[in-house]
Amino acid sequence: MKQAIVNAIIHTGDEIIDNGVIIIENGAILSVQNEIPNDIKTIDLQGKHIGAGFIDIQINGGEKHYFSQTPNEETIQDIYDSSLKYGTTHVLPCLISSSKETILQGIEATRNYIKKHNNGVIGMHLEGPFLNPLKRGAHSIDQVRKPTNAELEEIIKHGKDVIKVITIAPECFTDEQLNMLLESGITISAGHSTMGYKEAQHYFSKGINLVTHLFNAMTQFGHREPGLVGAVFENEKVYAPIILDGAHCDYAAAKVAYKLKQEKFFLISDATFLGRKVENFKWDNFDAHLENGFYRNEDGNLAGATISMLEAVQNAYNHLNVSADEALKMATSRVAAAIGLENKIGKIKTGFPASFVKFNDNLSEIETLNFPAV
* CATH no. for 54-345: 3.20.20.140
DSSP state of 26: T
DSSP state of 255: H
Q: How far is residue 183's CA from residue 179's CA, in Å, rounded to a whole number?
A: 6
Q: Find, among 147, 84, 90, 98, the residue nearest to 122 by Cα.
A: 90
Q: Which residues of 143-180 are buried (b: 16+ CB within 10 A; e: fewer)?
A: bbbebeeebbeebbebbbebbbbbbbbbbbbeeebbeb
Q: How far is residue 194's CA from residue 255's CA, in Å, rounded to a whole number?
A: 24
> Please, what sign has the CA dihedral across residues 171, 259, 345, 324?
positive
- Architecture of the domain defined by 2-50+359-370: Roll (2.30)
Per CATH, 2-50+359-370 and 54-345 having the same topology is answered no
Q: What angle do CA 187, 189, 191 make, to 5 degrees?
A: 165
Binding site residue list for substrate:
138, 216-217, 224, 248, 302-304
Q: Is 270 one of the catalytic residues?
A: yes
**Phi and psi of 338, rounded to 5°?**
-65, -25
Helix spans in the chain (H): 73-84, 100-116, 149-159, 175-184, 197-205, 227-234, 251-261, 309-319, 324-329, 333-338
Contact 133, 148 (CB under 8 A): no
Per-domain residue ranges of the chain = 2-50+359-370, 54-345
Contact 332, 110 (CB under 8 A): no
Q: Which residues pair with 24 in a beta bridge?
A: 3, 29
Residue of 44, 270, 284, 325 marked catalytic: 270
How high is the mean pLDDT of the chain? 96
Q: Which residues of 12-37 are buried (b: 16+ CB within 10 A; e: fewer)?
A: bbeeebeebbbbbbeeebbebeeeee
DSSP state of 81: H
pTM of the model: 0.97
In a structure prediction context, what are the per-residue pLDDT tens digits for the chain, which is 374 residues long? 899 999 999 999 999 999 999 999 999 999 999 999 888 999 999 999 999 999 999 999 999 999 999 999 999 999 999 999 999 999 999 999 999 999 999 999 999 999 999 999 999 999 999 999 999 988 989 999 999 999 999 999 999 999 999 999 999 999 999 999 999 999 999 999 999 999 999 999 999 999 999 999 999 999 999 999 999 999 999 999 999 999 999 999 999 999 999 999 999 999 999 999 999 999 888 889 999 899 998 888 888 899 999 999 999 999 999 999 999 999 999 999 999 999 999 999 999 999 999 999 999 999 999 999 87
